[in-house]
């Protein structure tokens, strides 16, 4: 297995990390404005999906829609996956790889 130096990884660029933070912050802001208690479940779903995408990027060797000499695999859509947690069932999208 190839070790990836995450400090040099373009997926950890400020722009890529900002996109993930914005998604999580949007969920938290909306929950606070609406007084919604279920925000924690949605926040967990957003975080889990971000981690799944990040892991898929590592397996593939490139981000979604990115061309790379280091590419080892290709994405081929998504499949739904229900994950039962203490917060409730999280509906996740698992990348299919070729």
Q: Tens of pLDDT along 35-93?
A: 666 778 888 899 999 999 888 888 788 777 677 777 777 777 899 999 999 888 999 99
Which residue range(s) make up the domain with 67? 10-97
Asked if residue 3 belongs to a domain, the reply is no
Taking residue 31's Cβ as centre, other Cβ atoms within 10 Å add up to 17
Which pTM was predicted? 0.61
Asked if residue 80 belongs to a domain, the reply is yes
Number of structural domains in the chain: 1
Q: What 3-state DSSP class applies to 94?
A: strand
Asked if residue 71 belongs to a domain, the reply is yes
Q: Which tokens is 6 given?
A: 């995450």
The C-alpha atoms of residue 81 and residue 6 are separated, in whole angstroms, by: 27
Burial pattern 53-77, b for ≥16 Cβ within 10 A else e, equals bbebbbebbbbeeeeeeeeeeebee
């Amino acid at each position: 297995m190839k070790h990836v130096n995450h400090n040099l990884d373009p997926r950890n660029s400020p722009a890529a990390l900002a996109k993930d933070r914005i998604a999580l912050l949007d969920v938290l802001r909306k929950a606070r404005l609406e007084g919604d208690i279920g925000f924690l479940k949605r926040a967990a779903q957003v975080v889990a999906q971000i981690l799944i995408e990040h892991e898929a990027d590592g397996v593939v060797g490139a981000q979604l829609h990115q061309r790379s000499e280091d590419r080892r695999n290709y994405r081929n859509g998504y499949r739904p996956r229900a994950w039962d947690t203490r917060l409730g069932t999280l509906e996740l999208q698992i990348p299919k790889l070729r």
